[in-house]
Structure 1
Amino acid sequence: MWFRRKSSNAATPAAHTKPSQVRKTGSQQSQEPTSSLRRVRLPVDLLERGMIIIKLDRPWNEVPVLFQGFVLSDDSQADILRQYCDWVLVEDEEERLNPILDRVVLRKEMATRPLPETRSLAEEMPRARAAWNQGQQFIDKVTRDLESGNDLDFDEARPIIKHCVESIQANASAMFWMSRIKSRDAYTAEHCLRVAIFSIAFARFLGMPDKDLETVGMCGLLHDLGKLKVPQSILNKPGTLTQEEMQIMQEHTILGYELLKADSKLDPIISDVSSHHHERMDGQGYPHQLADWQISRYSRLVAIVDSFDAITSDRCYKDGLSASDAMSILYKNRGQQFDAGMVEGFIRMIGVYPPGSLVELNSGEVALVVATHPGRKLKPRVEILLDANKNPITPRVVDLAAQTAEGDMVREIAHPLADGAFGISLRGRIQQLTAKSFSDAF
């Protein structure tokens, strides 16, 4: 991607191009505009072949497409627009646009619903755990290869990300649960994998097409590759970095970009994200101090997930903050550091009590959060494990947003608990759910 100074007419079609005179077939023969043609602004995820692209949400010369005002004639053009833009102005037959506009309304409604599930948490957990372990092994291998000077094989990442996508599509909470099992000593490997998982889930929540989920996952998995070449003494320094150390730290974006750019088989957006996931909407990020319209959609998405995980993770020199504290930081910095709309969407997806949180109900029962409800943030679906007297019971799933009163009691979350409270740990519950499929322990 090339970055040039924004020109005054960059966001308008070229003077010689009259989009309404371009045939839907993509030929350059002219035809008279008809009264049924209509121009509308569409989310990039709803673009279809044959539409005439009139205007982008950023300057034309900031997106690697060849023409200003062109007919969307193949999938690769749509792929590029989805990676860099949020919306475009299109022209098409009104009859064809009407059902697509109905889908715009449906997308807004979906933002208030939980991620769809095709399998229960118990059914999906073994596959999620297997994908998680494969992901850790891949990052560990990449680390060893870099240390030894061996060639990097990113093809090995593709089936791992594919398995993560399949698991998230079946039941995202299973991978969310796996992501909450954290180790200070394995931060780098786990961080890359968690960012991949949450990026896939977030992209799905935002309504991105299924074909984009694997690319988003690869962006998340490899976004911090350059940090594997930064000295550990700087990565794990407990105190404030000096100006020189900070400069070395920030170079991880360029180092990662160079490693990924060297592999011609990788989608260019993956190296773009590695380079730009620390850019800011206010232009104060690094390494290029890009303006908001220069930051790709995927980079803005990964930036939010990357920061959320960094804030909530324990490091060798600090304890992570709670998810609610992390949400507050993201929200406070929306529009300045982060894309405001994406931050609000991420908060809806994660919820006040993220999947895997241990909570005590107003009934005195103890439960693990199974899944969140974007439209009812304080009423997730929970799995009750202890009764009011803190005695173990047969696990029972209750949807707090859809429950009916038992006697005079309507269950609500009274307060969160630390993992391990009353002898209940997320790690232990995962082991129970996967015991039939795995004999190895964490």
Structure 2
Amino acid sequence: MRSTDSDGASAGAGQNGSASRHHQIQVPVDALTLGMHVEELDRPWTDVPVLFQRFVIRTEEQLSTLRHYCVWVWVDANASECDADWGAMAMKRGAVRTVHPLPEQHPLSEELPRARKAYRKTRNYVDSLLADIRNQQTIELEEARPVIEACATSIQANANAMFWLGRVRSEDAYTAEHCVRVAILAIGFGSSLGLNDADLTTLGLCGLLHDIGKLRVPDAILNKPGRLTPEEMAEMKRHTEYGYALLTKQGDFDPIVQDTTLSHHERMDGRGYPGGKPGSCISRFTRIVTIVDAFDAMTSDRTYQKGVSTADALRILFKNRGDQFDAELVEHFIRMIGIYPPGSLVALNTGEVALVLANNPRYKLAPKVEVVLGPDRQPCRRRVLDLATHPESGDGTPYAITEPLPDGAYGFSLQAHIEQQGTAAG
């Protein structure tokens, strides 16, 4: 909580020192809502196309303008019914606790072809962008927004299609694939939080571009198999500042995306880097990307280490909630992703092998699955089981998952399965 006096009031506070009567709190633009009283901006009022200095947010257009031009604003806490901890304020509105099932407007088999096209285009764009950064060429960010919008459109139709594609991985292309996966997971996470289309696009951009500064870090450090020296670790940590510098050279590119690139290794307890920001100064978009970034990094195979299982990664997130990660968002992420993510393989108590199609946020241990291998672990007639409805096998035993299986278990290829689905849909 802060208050201003007539000597410290900004231009937005007026000329009569009236700001001294108002308690102001700093709120990230991604947490603003209609009805809030904006008192100050994080930049001169003349840099932002608004009609008045100090105003009440009345329209979605005003929200969009603030989110495009600013990272933070100060609002009148008394008039806006705000809490000094804007994260707690969001909780009171139910913005985090509400669980929205991931969209399934189109059948998975129908959405996969469009998702593959959007995924491929996004991957090609990232490959080109990273090559330009590596070669110290001028980077072009104009194409970033349309490729992310295409991903968001597909995710809004059936998020599981994109989640499936993210399960097909290559160790040799970790940085590019990681950027695309973080964007996809962030959009899916934002959708489950109920964010609108504009915010989903911005959040996707935050995920897509969060690690671009790593291309300024020497490969010998990025891919070193052993423990980094203190000097090497210091250089690795500079990737946040390198990425921020790259984006700030792009003129009016979204400040909230720039801020997430700089701040995605900050921690809720203030022990992160590069600035050691306390949790109250970390935006919601950054909090989301921080969780998704850590999850994808932990579950990915690298040239120097194997990834951990989904269950282990979720346990680590949960253990570090409140200290490293936003506690409420971690719990929501666990509900969204489930113990068995879409696209993963599981063993059933019948001896069969099934592919996870979709999760149910209310029943994390009972996803919707497709049986793909019989008890003999050979291809069989495929059938879909919604385990949340307690289906029974032929002898009356309720189907249940006994264990997760690694990708590629028993020779099952998710990539080949996706291609077959696309062919069947065509």
**Structure-2 change in CA distance of 1:221 and 1:44 (3 Å):** closer
Q: Aligned match of 1:266 in 250, 253, 273?
A: 253
C-alpha contact (below 8 Å) 1:52/1:69 kept by paired residues = no
Q: CA deviation at 1:218?
A: 0.6
Residue 47 of structure 1 aligns with which residue? 33
Deviation track 1:162-190 (CA, whole Å, cap 9, x = no partner) reads: 11001100111111111111111000100
Residue 118 of structure 1 aligns with which residue? 105
Residue 306 of structure 1 aligns with which residue? 293
Residue 27 of structure 1 aligns with which residue? none
Residue 96 of structure 1 aligns with which residue? none
C-alpha contact (below 8 Å) 1:126/1:434 kept by paired residues = yes
Residue 71 of structure 1 aligns with which residue? 56
2:18 alignment partner, SS class: coil
Residue 197 of structure 1 aligns with which residue? 184
Larger CA deviation: 280-289 vs 400-409: 400-409
Paired letter, 2:37? I
Q: Aligned match of 1:335 in 318, 322, 330?
A: 322
**Structure-2 change in CA distance of 1:403 and 1:331 (3 Å):** same
Residue 142 of structure 1 aligns with which residue? 129
Residue 385 of structure 2 aligns with which residue? 398
The answer as to 2:116 corresponding to 1:129 is yes
C-alpha contact (below 8 Å) 2:38/2:54 kept by paired residues = yes
Residue 414 of structure 1 aligns with which residue? 402
RMSD: 3.4
Residue 40 of structure 1 aligns with which residue? none
Mapping for residues 353-364 of structure 1, pairs under 5 Å: 353-364=340-351
Mapping for residues 55-66 of structure 1, pairs under 5 Å: none
Measure the CA separation in 2 of the matches of 1:420 and 1:230.
33
Measure the CA separation in 2 of the matches of 1:334 and 1:106.
19
Paired letter, 1:411? Y
Paired letter, 1:262? K
Mapping for residues 174-185 of structure 1, pairs under 5 Å: 174-185=161-172
Measure the CA separation in 2 of the matches of 1:46 and 1:147.
37
1:177 alignment partner, SS class: helix
Residue 331 of structure 2 aligns with which residue? 344
C-alpha contact (below 8 Å) 2:96/2:332 kept by paired residues = no
The answer as to 2:289 corresponding to 1:287 is no
Deviation track 1:308-334 (CA, whole Å, cap 9, x = no partner) reads: 111111111111111111111111111
The answer as to 2:248 corresponding to 1:246 is no
Q: CA deviation at 1:211?
A: 1.6
Paired letter, 2:173? A
C-alpha contact (below 8 Å) 2:71/2:259 kept by paired residues = no
Measure the CA separation in 1 of the matches of 2:227 and 2:80.
55
2:177 alignment partner, SS class: helix
Paired letter, 1:421? A
1:214 alignment partner, SS class: helix
1:135 alignment partner, SS class: helix
Q: CA deviation at 1:306?
A: 0.6
Mapping for residues 5-16 of structure 1, pairs under 5 Å: 7=2, 16=18
**Structure-2 change in CA distance of 1:267 and 1:107 (3 Å):** closer
Q: CA deviation at 1:149?
A: 2.8
Measure the CA separation in 1 of the matches of 2:268 and 2:93.
27
**Structure-2 change in CA distance of 1:401 and 1:18 (3 Å):** farther
Deviation track 1:25-66 (CA, whole Å, cap 9, x = no partner) reads: xxxxxxxxxxxxxxxxxx977933xx24389xxxx77x6696
Mapping for residues 157-168 of structure 1, pairs under 5 Å: 157-168=144-155
Deviation track 1:102-122 (CA, whole Å, cap 9, x = no partner) reads: xx88867851x5212111111
1:435 alignment partner, SS class: helix
What fraction of aligned residue pairs are identical, expressed as a percent? 47
Q: Aligned match of 2:206 in 183, 204, 219?
A: 219
C-alpha contact (below 8 Å) 1:118/1:170 kept by paired residues = yes
**Structure-2 change in CA distance of 1:405 and 1:69 (3 Å):** farther
**Structure-2 change in CA distance of 1:409 and 1:65 (3 Å):** farther
Deviation track 1:186-239 (CA, whole Å, cap 9, x = no partner) reads: 001000000000011111111111221111101100000100111000000111
**Structure-2 change in CA distance of 1:70 and 1:141 (3 Å):** same
**Structure-2 change in CA distance of 1:65 and 1:358 (3 Å):** farther
Q: CA deviation at 1:415?
A: 1.1
Q: Aligned match of 1:433 in 402, 421, 424?
A: 421
**Structure-2 change in CA distance of 1:221 and 1:92 (3 Å):** closer
C-alpha contact (below 8 Å) 1:54/1:90 kept by paired residues = no
**Structure-2 change in CA distance of 1:345 and 1:83 (3 Å):** farther
Paired letter, 1:276? S
C-alpha contact (below 8 Å) 1:83/1:297 kept by paired residues = no
Q: CA deviation at 1:363?
A: 1.9
C-alpha contact (below 8 Å) 2:103/2:155 kept by paired residues = no
**Structure-2 change in CA distance of 1:254 and 1:45 (3 Å):** closer
Residue 373 of structure 2 aligns with which residue? 386
Measure the CA separation in 2 of the matches of 1:258 and 1:108.
32
**Structure-2 change in CA distance of 1:353 and 1:19 (3 Å):** farther
